[in-house]
Amino acid sequence: MNEVNKIVDQLLEQSLGKSQEYDWKHEEEEVFSFLCREWDVRKAKELIKTKPHKVQRVDVSSLRGLVTRPVWKTDKEGRRYTKHTVGVGINWDMIDKEGEKVDFSVPLILVTLRKKKGGRGAVHFPIDGWHRIAKALE
């Protein structure tokens, strides 16, 4: 393991704890929409603040396909375009301008998506923290 990975692991170990230890800013309306579903992130933060949860590490590498940075091209007339990318809407300009300010100590908020009838198990899906995920995967 290289030195950078060791430092990241040490920082992550220090930040793990209980969810009530974080400053969940939940004054403003915040909704996460994905694939025709919506989650009230503000209510999720209120719930987390009143009913603490254990903070755990999450491997986000499987989400790489949902945070793809668009590739911009220019046509013969000088117009810029990009191919449509499927995934979560990421404000890449914000990450480019303030990327070093991304606070990786703030936990992601995950929801449990149950598989349809006949399916087994469940999937945990982030509804908050996508910019942190995108920055971490770059």
| Structure-block tokens of residue 45 | 């933060």
Mean pLDDT of 97-102: 78
- DSSP string for residues in 50-94: HS--B------GGGGGGSPPPPEEE-TTS-EEE----S----HHH
Query: Which residue do the tokens 């004054």 mark?
Result: 27
**What integer pLDDT is reported at residue 126 of this predicted model?**
93
| Cβ count within 10 A of residue 45 | 20
Q: What pLDDT digit, counting tens, does each position of 54-66 carry? A: 788 888 888 888 8
Residue 108 contacts residue 32 (beta carbons within 8 Å): no
Number of neighbouring beta carbons within 10 Å of residue 55: 20
- Mean pLDDT across 104-111: 87
**In terms of pLDDT, which residue wins out, 20 or 106?**
106
